[in-house]
Structure 1
Amino acid sequence: MSHAATSRSRGDHLRLVWPQWQGAGAAVVKELAPEFPHDVARRGYTVGTKVLEAVLPPHDGPTAAVPVTLSDDGLEERDGVEAKTVILKQLANALETIRDHDPARITTLGGECAVSVAPFTELARRYGDDLAVIWIDSHPDIGTPDSAYKGYHAMAAATRAMAALRTSARAAHEAMRCLVTMWKAANLSSEGMPSGLSCGVKSFSRCHHPMCGSVRYPLSCGRAKSSA
């Protein structure tokens, strides 16, 4: 049984309502919204979800809401990732909901950028190498815990690319090529590029990105000191 509240119809267009706020770094929120009390500002991403629900046309397919706590439970930093405990719990619930519906299409109403991880994870599981993702954002979201732009929301694209490395050598090469391209497009110096972000590395190493776990694959995701 799914942990999310759902109105259900299989194989259709799923609207996933996921007002996750915990992925935004506390320091980033404080800098961007100093005029609000910090606890209020951090939870401001939930307002964005409500706005999207209000302005979008009625949805004629199934809708599922991923439960998101507004409490401070699970906000402590683990492995360099703020709120890792609660983020992983909510991510698991979202993935379970998506797989329960088995939708043909997904529209996700968030929430900070990390809400994209669940639908992209399901697409990668379903299509494997035959998948392309167009990422349009003011930030590349290819960070690590050592990047200056804090929070799991800044690691969303990197997390998906790292997980893709588990599937095949081709996926590994494409993921690394895309990350290098995104890094350069963001006008970041090569000195700030995480180690391992280069195509053509042949030896196997372990991924120590905190949201991947320790997994053997051809390239290191490079949890290294970054000036990004």
Structure 2
Amino acid sequence: MQEHHNVFFILRHGQSEANVAKIISSSPATGTTTHRLTEKGHEQAHSAGGRFVEEFLSKYPGRELMIVSSDFLRAKETAEDVEKVVRSLPTQKVSLTLEPRLRERSFGTWEGQSTDHYNDVWQHDALDADHHVFQVESVNQVRNRATDVVNELNTHNHGKFILLVAHGDVLQILQTAFLRADPRSHRSLRHLENAEVRLMTPTMLPAQGDH
């Protein structure tokens, strides 16, 4: 991953219908059309937006925010809810872009099945970051597409706050790139809860008030 020229944050989507049903929803045909946020998910997303404003944006006035989100409905709706909260700040610059490369990891033959099968995949992840057991997308494939997004954003932007809105596995894996950790270790990192915001590049925080 390139040297950082921006401050990156990650945000997992709020509670979705698939979360409640405890089913795996990783197919673009399904994820972009169904499994929206629940009412609780929208509440979580609005709360996440409020915390983000309070903890970061309000302390760095004038710092432009780019929200870059998976185009799966649950992530898109989360990003839109956060954007609405941020736009309540009268002078805040904010944009929202949908990015297919931040989509959920493909879970192959487990698509539409119980989330209990995540563990079946993660056991293989810990041994081999290139495996395709159960026809899943490999850890390294996910890491590569997600880091490509980060690197491109760094190439074309400077000094911005960038909030990446995506899914559990994608963000767990992307964190290993930010941390320069073994991608096989992604499940050993602290679990991202629904609508949790996490700062990825703390050393890049600008001085308060710096425009």
Q: TM-score range by the shorter chain?
A: 0.3 to 0.5
User: Bigger relative contact order, structure 1 or 2, given CA contacts below 8 A and separation 6+?
Assistant: 2
More helix by share: 2
TM-score normalised by length of structure 1: 0.31
TM-score normalised by length of structure 2: 0.33
Q: Say which one has the larger Rg.
A: 1
